[in-house]
Amino acid sequence: MNLRGRDVIGSRAVYGAFATVLDAVGRTPIVKLNRVSAGLTADIFVKLEFANPSGSMKDRAASFLVDELERHGKLKPGGTIVEATSGNTGAALAMVAAVRGYKCVFAVPDKVSHEKVAALRAWGAKVVVCPSAVEPEDPRSHYSTAKKLAEDTAGAALANQYHSAANAEAYYRSLGPELFAQSNGEIDALVVGLGTGGALTGAGRYLKEHKPAVQIVGIDPVGSVYYDKFRYGRDTRAFAYKVEGIGEEFYPGALDMKVLDDVIRVDDRECFATTRDLVRHEGLFCGGSSGAAVAGAIKYARARDKRENIVVVLCDGAEGYFSKVFNDEWMRENGFLGGEGTVRELIEAKGARAMVTARPDDTVRHVVQTMKQHGISQLPVVGDNDRLYGIVAEVDVLRHLVTGEGHLEGTIEHLVESDYASVTPDTRVDLLQGVLADAKIALVTEGRKLVGLVTKIDLIDYLSRKGGLS
């Protein structure tokens, strides 16, 4: 008999049992979507990673991360595992710690639901809650806090999911082979939410080795940095968003962007609406990042409009989101129920206007004249094939001239900056309000094409008209 393991109850052997809960990780089912994906040419399937023992796909990486620390002598018996986490990796590491006899300390951003924090404490972990509206390098961020805790705690080691090679390796060895076997190789696209990037990198590499034509698609929320980096090669600022577990403010070493074939962007409203639909119409008890991945997969399938098999990874379950995604009051307070229309409607309300842009090799003189001619204070900068470089603002041009660092005949290339947000025509206006609270301007992109821009005064004018104030 081919046994996966055995345990003993009294004097009787229990065949087919696992030695520990860690051996039960993986072998999660794949299910076809029906109602949520109705009308699409492609078939969309979802892999239920929330069926893992601690409730998420992070179970696959946790043992590998701890193995790496043990192998290099960084974690010894009785030691402490420290990590920066949005909850799921923390739970997975805490499960490993319980089996292997370690302690845990986790730093989490304050946008993490109180259910997730309570769950980590139930595992016996110490949890430090940190502000999320700070840069990753800020000593108050959960990334910096975790590093400091690891340095200051005797016998502690940082799991380092964001940069450890063990992260991607775990998914290369487990998720990749599992997906290929379950689909009998008939998988045309894998869709994964972009977080640390380990799952996408590891599983994506395996699938491409066995089927080079497979498309690896990352899903990124509005406010994260991945989309603009992939589309335009441009480093941009991160802005606040509510969905947990995906998106980043920096580029983790665990992610190999060369594995990616496409990145699809979604906003918070799409993430949460799709999450609710998956629970109510498909019976899939999943969380917000799962809704984000499916919302992105539907956009991807609709744009391609071809017969193919798309598999989406559902990262975690719904238990950590009762106070948020499944709470009507929280959804309403944050503008995710009801709403003020879309960016597309705002642009249409502005009326038809030619898009005014600059090029990196334009002279300062030309840009100044263009701004004066059109009465504008900032210009999108695009290069060959309409590749978006960033924006140039009049305040930067003025500083450039006043300080004597440059002259009117010099090019603007070194004046191009990334202090902008990028949104899609389908981004809700209520979400745009939060974006423009931090960014100078919102550039509207559809695919790789720049189709418009929105300033604070555009938003004010739109809301005034809609409210009958103009």
Indicate if 289 belongs to the active site: yes
Nearest CA to 161 out of 272, 24, 255 is that of 255
Instruction: Give the separation between CA 101 and CA 403, rounded to whole angstroms.
Output: 61
The DSSP code for 319 is G
Q: Which entry of 58, 242, 299, 324 is annotated as an active-site residue? A: 58
Place of tokens 């206007």: 353
Q: Which entry of 224, 289, 290, 422 is annotated as an active-site residue? A: 289
The DSSP code for 460 is H
Alpha carbon of 319 to those of 56, 58, 115, 459: distances in Å? 11, 16, 7, 36
Tokens (6 digits) for 344: 């597309």
Nearest CA to 348 out of 426, 270, 423, 421 is that of 426
Amino acid at 150: A
Indicate if 58 belongs to the active site: yes
Longest Cα–Cα distance in the chain: 89
80 three-class SS: strand
Tell me if 282 sits within 8 A of 290, measured CB to CB: no
Beta strand segments in 239-385, E: 262-266, 309-314, 378-382
Instruction: Give the separation between CA 168 and CA 148, rounded to whole angstroms.
Output: 25
Q: List residues bridging with 443 in a β-sheet.
A: 422, 453
Amino acid at 191: V
Instruction: Give the separation between CA 294 and CA 196, rounded to whole angstroms.
Output: 18
Instruction: Give the separation between CA 390 and CA 383, rounded to whole angstroms.
Output: 10
φ, ψ of residue 293 to 5 degrees: the values are -65, -40
Active site residues: 58, 289
